[in-house]
Amino acid sequence: MNKRKRNWITILALLIISTYNINAHNNTTMKKTGNLEVATLAGGCYWCMDAPFEKTPGVIKVISGFAGGHIKNPTYQEVATGKTGAVEAVQITFNPTVISFSEILNIFWRQFNPTDAGGSFYDRGSQYKSVIFYHNKTQKDLAELSKTKLELSGKFSKPIVTKIEKFTTFYPASSDQQHYYKKNPIHYDQYRKASGRDQYIQKVWENDAKTYKKPKQEILKKKLTPLQYQVTQNNATERPFKNDYWNNKQEGIYVDVVTGEPLFSSNDKFDSDCGWPSFTRPLNPGELIKKEDSSFGMHRVEVRSKIGNSHLGHVFDDGPGPDHLRYCINSASVKFIPVQDMKKEGYGAYLYLFKGKKKGNAN
C-alpha cells in the first residue's frame, strides 16, 4: 500500500474516531452555545502568532507565553536559552459556535513554515519549534486530521515536522510582550519582514491564488440576476428547496458569485434537510466574515465573504461534522465549479482536494 493511500485511510479513520469522541465525551464544549474553548499553539515567535488570531471573529482572547517545559513560570530570558523545554506559544480562547477548533488550525498552518525542525525563520532553537498542544481527545484527533490533510495537499516538498502533544502547562509572558503588534507596530512590521516570515507566507499561500476584486455596483447589477443581487447585496434569503444547489451532488468547489473567491468544497457538503446547500466547514476560514445577526427577532451568526462582503447565509451549531457546525448557504450567493472545470476556470490549486477519491457523487 503506497503512502498516499495510507494517508487517505488515516483521514477516514480519524473522521470516524473524532465524531465518536465528540458524542462520547460529555466534557467537550463544541456544540454548547456560549461555552468557550482554549487552543494552545506554537509557531515560532509569539509576536507573530497573536495578531492573526486577535483579528478573527469568534476569538475572545489571545495570550502570548510559554508552553510545556520543566521550569515553573519561566522568564523570557530562561526560555530563550533553549534549556527549559518550553516553547513560545499563544493561548487562544474562542467561541466554538462562531469559529471551530479546525478553523483555528487552518489559520495556524498559514502563519509559519511547518517543515522547519530547527526553529522558525531566523529564530533558531527548540524554543521556536511548532507544536499543537491538544487539551482533549477531540482536539488531538482534529489536529492529526488537519496535519494529514496538509501533507496530502502537496503544498510542501519536505515532511511536516509540527508536533502534536498533550497540553501540560502554559505560563503567560510579561505584559510588555503581549500584543506587540499594537504596542510597537513599526518594529513589529520590520521584524516580520526581516525574519522572512511575510515573504514565506506570500510565496506559499498567496502567490498560487487568483486576485479577487468586488466589481462596482453598476457592474454587479448587470452581472447578477435580480435574486443574486438581492441576496448578496441586500441580505435577502432565497426559497428553500427551490434553488440551484440544495441537492447538488457533483464534486467541485463553490465560489462567491460576486468575486469568484473559493468558499466551500463538495467534500464538506451534506444533506441537512433544510432546503439550502449546507457545509460542515469553509475552505479557508480567513475568507469568511462572521457577525451577530439579531434580525427577525432571532439570534444568529451571519456569514459573509471577506473580499466581496457578500451575504452568504448563516452558521449554526447543529452540524454532523467533528465541529458540529452547519454553514447554511444561499445558492444565489455562490457559483459551482465542477472538478473537471476547475483548472480551466483558474482553480487548479484546489484540485488536491479531490485527489485519491473515487469518482462519484459528493454526498
361 within domain boundaries: no
Count of structural domains, the chain: 2
Residue 243 belongs to some domain of the structure: yes
pLDDT in tens, 16-66: 444 434 333 333 333 333 589 999 999 999 888 998 888 787 899 999 999
> Tens of pLDDT along 106-122?
899 999 999 999 999 98
Are 59 and 86 members of one domain? yes
C-alpha–C-alpha distance, residues 41 and 108, integer Å? 8
One domain for residues 125 and 183 = yes
Q: Are residues 113 and 71 in the same domain?
A: yes
pLDDT over 90 (residue 240) = yes
User: Could you tell me if residue 360 is inside a domain?
Assistant: no
Catalytic residue among 39, 48, 105, 328: 328
Closest CA to 42 of 128, 101, 123, 105: 128
Question: Quick one: which of 96, 102, 192, 174 has its CA closest to 141?
Answer: 102
Distance of CA 356 to the CA centre of its chain: 22
Which pLDDT belongs to residue 359? 46
Q: Are residues 150 and 180 in the same domain?
A: yes
Q: Whole-angstrom Cα distance, residue 210 to residue 259? A: 10
Is residue 359 one of the residues assigned to a domain?
no
Asked whether residue 212 is domain-assigned, the answer is: no
Which residue in the block uniquely carries the three cell numbers 465542477?
338
Q: What is the pLDDT of residue 206?
A: 65
144 and 188 fall within a common domain: yes
Residues 196 and 221 in one domain: no
Rounded Cα distance, 265 and 1, in Å: 27
* Whether residue 202 is found in the same domain as residue 256: no
* Percent of the chain with pLDDT strictly greater than 70: 87
pLDDT in tens, 162-175: 999 999 999 999 89
Q: Which residue has the higher pLDDT, 69 or 208?
A: 69
Q: How far apart are CA 154 and CA 331, in angstroms?
A: 30
Residue 29 pLDDT: 32
Whether 55 and 184 map to the same domain: the answer is yes
Instruction: State which of 174, 206, 238 marks the end of a domain.
Output: 206
Domain boundary among 182, 206, 230: 206
Residue 120, number of CB atoms within 10 A of its CB: 28
Highest mean pLDDT among 142-151, 223-232, 311-320: 223-232
CA dihedral for 10, 19, 163, 189, sign (positive or negative): positive
Residues 46 and 97 in one domain: yes
Chain mean pLDDT for the chain: 85
b (16+ CB within 10 A) / e for 63-96: bbbbbbbeeeebebebbeebebebbbbbbbebbb
Query: What average pLDDT does this structure show over 304-324?
Result: 89
- Asked if 346 contacts 258 with a C-beta cutoff of 8 angstroms, the reply is no
Pairing label, strands 163-166, 130-134: parallel
157 occurs within a structural domain: yes
Residue 362 lies in a domain: no
Q: Enter the C-alpha cell of residue 25.
A: 465525551
Whether 328 is catalytic: yes
Q: Which of 5-9, 220-224, 296-300 has the highest mean pLDDT?
A: 220-224
The model's confidence at residue 267, banded by pLDDT at 50, 70 and 90, is very high
Q: Kindly state the cell numbers that stand for 231.
A: 441576496
> What CATH number does residue 274 fall under?
2.170.150.20
At which of 206, 239, 263 does a domain end?
A: 206
Do 23 and 125 sit in the same domain of this protein?
yes
Residue 205, class by beta-carbon neighbours within 10 Å (0-12 exposed, 13-18 middle, 19+ buried)?
Answer: middle
Strands 311-316 and 300-305 come out as antiparallel
Please answer whether residues 267 and 244 qualify as being in contact, where contact means their C-beta atoms are separated by less than 8 angstroms: no
For residue 306, give its domain range. Answer: 217-354
Q: Are residues 133 and 68 in the same domain?
A: yes
| pLDDT (average), residues 180-208 | 82
Q: Could you say which of 41, 45, 255, 337 is catalytic?
A: 45
CATH number at residue 129: 3.30.1060.10
Do residues 227 and 186 both lie within one domain? Answer: no
Strand ranges for 8-97 from DSSP E: 37-43, 59-68, 86-94
76, part of any domain: yes
41, 49 contact by CB (below 8 A): yes
Concerning whether 48 is annotated as a catalytic residue, the answer is no
